[in-house]
Structure 1
């Protein structure tokens, strides 16, 4: 059996950050990664000479962002793209009405103002909501307070439904009232023309990472931890919530009641990317995104123009929540046909078939079991931090689901890895030491 100071399970951003800080502090660390690559849910496809981020894509706000600092230190090019947080405006968006025709600037401004009005009313409603309230419950209260006609209310309600799905990959009635408390963008958003995975490979440099090493059991006591083949003083577990909740990953003895209760109120979502490349651009060249309103947009309602990344006409859309589950097992061509039918409704029969289609399948990934975690009704924002409370002085949980301020993001993963490293060391170390 190999002995080290600390075992890190998972070589995603959280695990790599923790490992790098611990190694920098003089600890002997081994990182065990089930996949044949580092990065976890930060994963870039480079087939056919093209760069496609299959998992995380955006930094949602570069202002005071440690992820932006790390990316810059790693020499990663950044391209501004400020519409990724399902914002109603921010950058030019082409809105199409329920009749399939593009809204004029006045109608667009009125719709955006309605969304902003309801958002302003929503904050106090969420703050005063009951513990079991859903995001549907609180949005309905905020909508009713406006006293608008049915059609006007329906359009904003639809927007709020799509925001829940696109932000957290879950139906609005299944998301906790506080589930979008973190939906704040500070500064511009950016994407990565060379791929987000450069961050993971940079963090992994010089670390002892054992790839294709699946861990199914962690045994701990106040005296230390073991996993098959390894023993250590402490362990940092960074596997996703879906894996933590499965029978394929066992922590023995089980987590204390506080952590188990917090874990039980979180779920992995269903959220897939659909990337379509076309022979030519048929959509508006002056917009960052295209959105359609009305019942025809129940599945496919938002497309993001990624052409600026490499010059190839490219649209990104999302299969979110119920849609992701419905298309599970579909071929990429079938998904593309479904998406393209809606684009033809907006832009006409001459819209060409895509030349290339990529559809992700995070739901079927045994080492992810979804894209990221969301809060179910009855959960609180404190559940994220409770999950990360050290156990027995030797067991530490980290990852995007364990950070309260900005969960479900690379930012959360990075900060949670930093917190775990500080807990292992028993002292503070600067987070920038992971990349400086």
Structure 2
């Protein structure tokens, strides 16, 4: 049963008791709740929004499907997300370019002068990027604790026998990669901030929408939508969770809680944990930040860009704001380009009207394609920084942070409080995969036993429909 219906709103609003309260109905929260419920525990999920999914958000309008939040599965090999999607019958389209690769799929490059790079020049540039990355592995491993990603990339560039022009082209690429991967300026990202930047297998997107995943995961669960949690109190006796719902305030008591709100919410005054989080959780949280990262979708009457490409990339000073456009036509069924406002650009355009954002993008496209560029028929600019339930898109490691901070953030507190979500998983943070695995880990810790992850989608592990509290 989902908390979106009237029956949910009519439930008692105070002093209910559960085995576990899960805060947040994103993928991490739903995975934890589903596994706990399948194990026979009484679980309730409190969700501030009027939908499940969190940062997996799909818009359906006029027959068009747009994933405003998470889009890609970054590598389907041995991916639990890919396995779940297959089990749930979710259609996929291969689109292996979401990891900001310099090649491997058709990518058209335009030089600083706006002229199309020859195939040979594009291959040469990609070869330079791969050479730099090979050098970078050793430089990062030997870097100081307070080194930034700028520090290590500059050190790696200095080891190449290149002229200034080659160095600058790769330097730009590294700046853009840090922004597109983590929505952070290269000088603000920790040296180890891209340690997880690896793709194993093809990447895929979902033409019918990524939100099918959380909707399927929520089936049978007691999910109470439009319940904004304001505080979590914990002690050796359990937890007390206070929230504001459609019918007013409520307080729920439980033996444990799994809190899956984003880092930006954890760090805000609108959400309190009492007593305050201890070390090492507090220290890890202090070294993470929510990024500045927005999507801009442009739909057109017809394609004007290069045929049979996955992406178009622009080099040179003109690429400072807009540099990469992704051709989503095969996934969307209509001519569509996606670009990202990331890092400083995302901050710069926060006060811009959508029309100004579009004109800025079209100005750059016209440098490449001239008068063939038409006005888009539809535009969507995301505004995740304005969302009080995210306060950004996802977390990144600030200078001084280490990869261990992700797992440290998930250290159990008092044996009763568990944090989960994309920022709490070391291997591939900032992904749905990280959220899913973190929810799985939280459930295992609550239960004190291992749980096969395919319990999430096995036919024989359906969650019983929740009874009313």
TM-score normalised according to structure 2 size: 0.92
Residue 287 of structure 1 corresponds to: 309
Q: Which residue of 1 aligns with 2:176?
A: 162
Q: Is the partner of 2:22 in helix, strand or coil?
A: strand
RMSD: 0.6
The more displaced of 17-26 and 342-351 is 342-351
How far has the Cα of 1:286 moved from its partner? 1.4
How far 1:311 moved relative to its partner?
Answer: 2.3
Deviation of residue 257 (structure 1)? Answer: 2.3
Q: CA deviation at 1:121?
A: 0.3
Q: CA deviation at 1:332?
A: 1.6
- CA separation in 1, counterparts of 2:349 and 2:86? 37
Match of 2:246 in 1: none
Q: Counterpart in 1 of 2:435?
A: 413
Deviation string for 1:259-307 (max 9, x for gaps)? Answer: 1000000000000000000010001121110000000011110000000
Q: Secondary structure at the match of 2:393?
A: coil
Is residue 42 of structure 2 the alignment partner of residue 20 of structure 1? no
Any idea what SS the aligned residue of 1:46 has? strand
Q: What is aligned with 1:369?
A: 391
Match of 1:273 among 295, 305, 329: 295
Task: Identify which of 332, 339, 343 aligns with 1:321.
Answer: 343
Is the counterpart of residue 30 in structure 1 residue 30 in structure 2? no
Deviations 1:140-182 (A, max 9, x none): 0100100211111000000000000000000000000000000
Would you say how many aligned residue pairs link Structure 1 and Structure 2? 436
How far 1:405 sits from its partner (Å)? Answer: 0.6
Q: Tell me the residue number matched to 2:272.
A: 250
Tell whether 2:402 aligns with 1:388. Answer: no
Task: Identify the residue that residue 111 of structure 1 maps to in structure 2.
Answer: 125
SS in 1 for 2:121: helix
In 2, the alpha carbon distance for the partners of 1:391 and 1:260 equals 11
The answer to whether the aligner puts 1:304 opposite 2:326 as a matched pair is: yes
Question: Partner of 1:47 in structure 2?
Answer: 61
Please report how far the alpha carbon of residue 258 of structure 1 lies from its aligned counterpart in structure 2 after TM superposition: 1.2
Asked if 1:234 corresponds to 2:256, the answer is yes
Provide the rounded CA distance (Å) in 1 between the counterparts of 2:124 and 2:420.
Answer: 43
Aligned partners of 2:62 and 2:268: how far apart in 1?
36
* Alignment partner of 1:71 is 2:85: yes
Following the alignment from structure 1 to structure 2, what is the Cα–Cα distance between the partners of residues 293 and 342? 11
Partner of 2:450: 428
Distance in 1 between residues matched to 2:341 and 2:332, nearest whole Å: 23
Q: Indicate which of 123, 145, 148 corresponds to 2:159.
A: 145
Q: Distance in 2 between matches of 1:244 and 1:41?
A: 15
Q: State the SS of the aligned residue for 2:62.
A: helix
Residue 373 (structure 2) aligned to one of 340, 351, 363 = 351
Secondary structure of 2:45 counterpart: strand
Counterpart Cα distance in 2 of 1:329 and 1:202? 36
For structure 2, the residue ranges without an aligned partner over 5 or more in a row are 1-14, 243-250, 459-469
Secondary structure (helix, strand or coil) at the match of 1:120 reads helix
| 1:241-270 deviation line (CA, Å, top 9, x unaligned) | 000001110000001021100000000000
Tell me what 2:282 maps to. Answer: 260
Q: Secondary structure at the match of 1:172?
A: coil
Q: Does 1:213 align with 2:235?
A: no
Which residue is 2:141 aligned to?
127
Could you tell me the TM-score, scaled by structure 1's length?
0.99
* 1:190 equivalenced with 2:204 (yes/no): yes
Distance in 2 (CA, whole Å) between partners of 1:90 and 1:334 is 34
1:91 maps to which residue? 105
Question: Alpha-carbon deviation of 1:385?
Answer: 0.6
